[in-house]
Structures are given as structure tokens and as C-alpha cells.
Amino acid sequence: SQTIHQWPATLVQPVGSPLSLECTVEGTSNPNLYWYRQAAGRGLQLLFYSVGIGQISSEVPQNLSASRPQDRQFILSSKKLLLSDSGFYLCASRFLNEKLFFGSGTQLSVL
Amino acid sequence: GNSVTQMEGPVTLSEEAFLTINCTYTATGYPSLFWYVQYPGEGLQLLLKATKADDKGSNKGFEATYRKETTSFHLEKGSVQVSDSAVYFCALSDLQGAQKLVFGQGTRLTINP
């Protein structure tokens, strides 16, 4: 089965600082990859998805960007964090019609 | 576009009570439907799923039936336990293209002994 590695687990960053969250996948090739955000008191919102290397689709306009430099690597970035970027970020992977596997998440606090 | 609406929480019940968490969806085509659960301090994990109308997904005593006529996928359990305390997410996937999962807002469930 697939394993999702996501780090760091927690991150506290000042407003205006850059961000880089990394996600790597084991146990599958050419998965679809996703970044979700869970803001406090709200549900899971799909931010980005990727069906292949270099292919990124954005679901909502925002201050963040994503990249997929390798088949099993998915990176979430920002040049300048905003307070509203705080939340719990989850990377997920899916291969063909298998279930969605989630990483353990990164709790980001922007102060 | 596709969307999922869940019963608002939080929901607090006593042990052995009957549980229903409502979920309705809006989608084009025939999506697959899922319930995911997030236990305290853990990541999301799949609880159950149904891939076509009238299918019943079940796991750990939980059940949900895919109702196309009412566009619903309500989660039920006959007798809840303290260990069922978690956040429950209803979701749908069209299984096309990027196979995106669209989640509801989540329902926090607390079971008191």
C-alpha cells in the first residue's frame, strides 16, 4: 500500500516569510497527488492537484503555489506567508481507483 | 460543480446511543461516495465507501447507503462507543481525470461514557 511522508509536522512562521512543505510518496508510481488545507473550524479544501510531473492544477486562487519536480514528490510553497495561510495542510495520493491515502499533515501557524 | 454538505456539529452523544450524521451531495454523473474519519492526533483514514446507487458501505459497525434519489449518504451506527469520538468527513469523487475528492466540512463527534 501507499505511504505518504510529509514534513515538518508543525511549523511556526512569521508573516511575510517563505514556505516550503514537502510530501513524498512510497509504494506506487505515477499517482495523482493532492494538497488539502483544513482551516480551523472548517472542512477540507482542495488547494492543488497533479496528475503527473510538472502538471499542477489550482482549485482556488490563493497565495500558495505547488510543484511536482519528481513523480513521487509534491511541494507546497509560498513566497510571502499571510495570516490567512494558517491551517493544517494534508498531502494525499491516489493511484487509479484506489482509495485516497493521506499524510500525517503539517500544522502551520503564521504569526 | 460537485459539492458535499454535512450535518453541522459538534455532535455529543452518550455511549451506546444511535448515531446518524447526515450527508447530501451535488454532482454531475455518478460519483463514488466516501466517509473518512480523523481520530484525535491522527491523520484521515477511509472508513467506508460506496461506488454506485443502493450500495451500502460498512466498517467497524458504521454503515452508509448510497441513495441516488435523495442524493444522500448518511452515516449510521447502532451503538456508539467512546472510541468513536473523532471528526467525520463525507466526500465524493467522480473517478474521472484527476479523481479529485470533494469533502464536506466535517462533523466532530464526541461520545461520553
Closest-CA distance, B96 to chain A, in angstroms, reads 9
pLDDT at B95: 63
Contact B110, B10 (CB under 8 A): yes
Q: Which three cell numbers stand for residue A108?
A: 502551520
Euclidean distance between CA atoms B39 and B19, whole angstroms: 17
**Closest-CA residue to B22 (of B79, B90, B108):** B90
CB neighbourhood size of A107 (10 A): 14
Q: Which three cell numbers stand for residue A19?
A: 514556505
CA angle A50, B108, B66 (to 5 degrees): 65
Contact A102 B49 (CB under 8 A): no
pLDDT at A41: 66
- Which residues lie closer than 8 Å to B83 by C-beta, 6 or more apart? B111
Contact A46 B100 (CB under 8 A): yes
Closest chain B residue to the Cα of A89, Cα to Cα = B43
Residues of B with CB under 8 A from a CB of A: 6, 34, 36, 42-46, 49, 89, 93, 95, 97-106
Q: Which three cell numbers stand for residue A106?
A: 503539517
Q: Which three cell numbers stand for residue B12?
A: 455529543
Euclidean distance between CA atoms B15 and B29, whole angstroms: 39
- Running DSSP on this structure, what letter comes out for residue A84? G
- Tens of each residue's pLDDT in chain B, 113 residues: 788 999 888 999 999 999 999 999 999 888 899 999 989 878 788 999 998 999 999 999 999 999 999 999 999 999 999 999 999 999 998 766 667 888 998 999 999 99
Contact B101 A104 (CB under 8 A): no
The minimal CB distance from A32 to the residues B36, B46, B99 is found for B99
| pLDDT mean across residues, chain B | 91
pLDDT at B97: 64
Give the residue carrying C-alpha cell 484527476.
B98
Distance linking the first and last C-alpha atoms of chain A: 37
Contact B99 A57 (CB under 8 A): no
- Tens of each residue's pLDDT in chain A, 111 residues: 778 999 888 999 999 999 999 999 998 889 999 999 987 767 788 999 999 999 999 988 788 999 999 999 999 999 999 999 999 999 999 877 677 888 888 999 999
